[in-house]
Amino acid sequence: MNRLRVPQMTHAAQIEVLKTLVEPGKVLTDADSLNAYGKDWTKHFAPAPLAIVFPKTVEQVQAIVRWANEHRIGLVPSGGRTGLSAAAVAANGEVVVAFDYMNQILAFNEYDRTVVCQPGVVTKQLQLFAEDKGLYYPVDFASSGSSQIGGNIGTNAGGIKVIRYGMTRNWVAGLKVVTGTGELLELNRDLIKNATGYDLRQLFIGAEGTLGFVVEATMRLERAPKNLTAMVLGTPDFDSIMPVLHAFQNKLDLTAFEFFSDKALAKVLARGDVPPAFETDCPFYALLEFEAATEEVAEQALATFEHCVEQGWVLDGVMSQSEQQLQNLWKLREYISETISHWTPYKNDISVTVGKVPAFLHDIDAIVEKNYPDFEVIWFGHIGDGNLHLNILKPEDLSKDEFFAKCAVVNKWVFETVQKYNGSISAEHGVGMTKRDYLHYSRSEAEIACMKAIKAVFDPNGIMNPGKIFN
Ligand SMILES: O=C(O)CC[C@@H](O)C(=O)O
Ligand SMILES: [Zn+2]
């Protein structure tokens, strides 16, 4: 007997079905939309999605996932698309699920100090909402004006306050997710104490949308900090930064401890819209922040600064005296990433435990100096957490492909060093597609096998953000 072939629907016909699942006009296929929504801030991959769909309700997200299963079409979640690892890139005919219309704050629970957010709520929107309630949402980074809560959860976003407040994970009280089978799961129900077996909520945080999509998140808020005050300190060399961190941590509760090199600073100052901290040229700078809640705290900070100068660890420094000065000092650090994006940088986002940072940075720096003698190398990052951002800038006369190919060769040595120090090849930017092939430098074969098995449970047909984290 002849087996009859089921006629395959064309992509155009599949998209017509997709259109019936959402409100009119909420599926886009024009070239500009495909290009804009098919990529994040990475520049490695050309976007090539089939369509962009904008659900407005949880039920619509479920219907889209069921449709994708039926037609075996990959779905890529899209928030603010500020990611730096190509986790929100649709380069292979996927459908992008954009959460722009699920952007409401649904509830505030005063006693629990929690806010129920749709995934498309912008980070800044949550921060301002918290401020309005006299509270604080502490996860912060330069892209907070565009990044969305769903994306922050998908990447377990870190940023500039991790030393005090931790990563996004710490602030997720509960999650509603639609899994790769279209099932809606309510995870942890916003409880503080819940000892009932596996905490599935944690699996979805940092999963880059490979297990399911966050459709609602309850985020915790914190007491608002008092009189945040920043210092920028210039150091004579890299090795002096860690004793400075140590000295300040012994005396104060820091809310941030960042660093950047003179090259990073020069790029930001060349913009002309940020005043320099001071005149003395130094090879490295530390930016630290604390709550100057009382006079004594500010005095303690100044005494620690003097101690660091006496020890020869610090050459010069300033302390903010107003909100405006605080903002200006932060701009020196926060503007780096956006400013250097002009040079199509090759990015590394690596980490080790704090105690290993000096030896690790020297090893990496030696590799970089030997192998990129002609490239401009920009160091900065969240050094108080052991997280270093290493950006290699593309020379004008080199094509993007040639440049990335050269960097990929050096990657091997960089990541072998990361592995030697038991570090991470992606501290906070995620794996996405850019770090996928290097995952084994940070995760064992057995761990990767477990991760794949977990994916198979939640996404048996492999339609949720395919090709991200691993193949
Ligand atoms: O662009 C980078 O490499 C880092 C971006 C971001 O994580 C930051 O810390 O500014
Ligand atoms: Zn960072």
Cα 83 to middle of ligand 2, angstroms: 11
Cα 458 to middle of ligand 1, angstroms: 31
Q: Which ligand is nearest to the CA of 348?
A: 1
Cα 190 to middle of ligand 1, angstroms: 30
Q: Within its chain, how far is the Cα of 359 from the centroid?
A: 25
Chain segment 75-86, per-residue pLDDT in tens = 999 999 999 999
Write down the pLDDT at residue 374.
87
Ligand 1 atom showing the smallest separation from residue 381 Cα: 9
Chain segment 174-222, per-residue pLDDT in tens = 999 999 999 999 999 999 999 999 999 999 999 999 999 999 999 999 9
Q: Does the C-beta of 347 come closer than 6 Å to ligand 1?
A: yes
- Regarding an ipTM greater than 0.95, the answer is yes
Residue 60 token pair: 């619509």
Q: Whose CA is nearest to atom 8 of ligand 1?
A: 337
Chain segment 454-469, per-residue pLDDT in tens = 999 999 999 999 999 9
Q: Pick from 54, 148, 182: which is nearest to 464 by CA? A: 182
Indicate the average pLDDT of the chain.
Answer: 96
Write down the pLDDT at residue 7.
58
Residue intervals of the chain classified under CATH 3.30.70.2190 are: 228-334
| Backbone torsion region of residue 64, taken as left when φ is above 0, otherwise alpha when ψ lies between -120 and 50, otherwise beta | alpha
Which of 380, 407, 425 most suits a substitution to test ligand 1, by most atoms within 8 Å of the C-beta?
380
Q: Which strand (E) or helix (H) includes residue 399?
A: none
Which of 144, 388, 389, 390 most suits a substitution to test ligand 1, by most atoms within 8 Å of the C-beta?
389
User: What are the DSSP calls for 430-459, one per residue?
Assistant: --TTTTGGGGGGTS-HHHHHHHHHHHHHH-
User: Is the pLDDT at 5 greater than 90, yes or no?
Assistant: no
Domain 228-334 falls in which CATH fold?
A: Alpha-Beta Plaits (3.30.70)
CA dist 347 and 392 (Å) reads 7
Cα 17 to middle of ligand 2, angstroms: 41
| Mean per-residue pLDDT, 434-447 | 97
Residue intervals of the chain classified under CATH 3.30.465.10 are: 105-223
CA dist 270 and 262 (Å) reads 12
| Domain 344-452, CATH | 3.30.70.2740
Q: Does the C-beta of 142 come closer than 6 Å to ligand 1?
A: yes
Q: Does the C-beta of 391 come closer than 6 Å to ligand 1?
A: yes
Chain segment 394-437, per-residue pLDDT in tens = 999 999 999 999 998 899 999 999 999 999 999 999 999 999 99
Q: Pick from 278, 279, 292: which is nearest to 321 by CA? A: 292
Distance of CA 22 to CAs 176, 212, 300, 407, Å? 20, 19, 59, 43
CA dist 57 and 28 (Å) reads 18
Write down the pLDDT at residue 217.
99
User: Is the pLDDT at 330 greater than 70, yes or no?
Assistant: yes
CB 439 within 8 A of CB 470: yes
User: Is the pLDDT at 1 greater than 80, yes or no?
Assistant: no
* Residue 97 half-sphere exposure toward CB, CA atoms < 13 A: 34
Residue intervals of the chain classified under CATH 3.30.70.2740 are: 344-452
Q: Whose CA is nearest to atom 4 of ligand 1?
A: 337
Q: Whose CA is nearest to atom 6 of ligand 1?
A: 337
Q: Which ligand is nearest to the CA of 347?
A: 1
Write down the pLDDT at residue 120.
98
CA dist 377 and 391 (Å) reads 6
SS3 for 360? helix
3-12, 32-41, 57-66: segment of lowest average pLDDT: 3-12
Ligand 1 atom showing the smallest separation from residue 349 Cα: 3
User: Is the pLDDT at 287 greater than 80, yes or no?
Assistant: yes
Measured CA angle at 87 (ends 84, 88), to 5 deg: 95
206-210, 361-365, 370-374: segment of lowest average pLDDT: 370-374
pLDDT-derived band at 4 (thresholds 50, 70, 90) equals low
Q: Does the C-beta of 389 come closer than 6 Å to ligand 1?
A: yes
Cα 405 to middle of ligand 2, angstroms: 24
Cα 381 to middle of ligand 1, angstroms: 7
pLDDT-derived band at 133 (thresholds 50, 70, 90) equals very high
DSSP state of 217: E
Helices 11-19, 58-71: axis angle to 10 degrees equals 160
Q: Whose CA is nearest to atom 10 of ligand 1?
A: 337
Cα Rg, the chain, nearest whole Å: 23
User: What are the DSSP calls for 76-145, one per residue?
Assistant: EEESS---SSSTT---SSPEEEE-TT---EEEEETTTTEEEE-TT-BHHHHHHHHHHTTEE-----TTTT
pLDDT-derived band at 129 (thresholds 50, 70, 90) equals very high
User: How large is the greatest C-alpha to C-alpha distance in the chain, in angstroms?
Assistant: 91
Residue intervals of the chain classified under CATH 3.30.43.10 are: 11-100
Q: Does the C-beta of 65 come closer than 6 Å to ligand 1?
A: no
Cα 209 to middle of ligand 2, angstroms: 20
Q: Which strand (E) or helix (H) includes residue 374?
A: none
| Domain 105-223, CATH | 3.30.465.10
CA dist 412 and 48 (Å) reads 29
Q: Which strand (E) or helix (H) includes residue 150?
A: helix 149-155
Q: Provide the strand spans (E) within 246-352.
A: 254-261, 284-291, 316-319, 346-351
| Mean per-residue pLDDT, 302-323 | 98
| Domain 11-100, CATH | 3.30.43.10
| Mean per-residue pLDDT, 382-402 | 95
Question: Tokens 């801030």, residue?
Answer: 41
CA dist 412 and 425 (Å) reads 11
Ligand 1 atom showing the smallest separation from residue 348 Cα: 3
User: Is the pLDDT at 119 greater than 70, yes or no?
Assistant: yes
Which of 156, 336, 394 most suits a substitution to test ligand 1, by most atoms within 8 Å of the C-beta?
336
| Mean per-residue pLDDT, 16-23 | 98
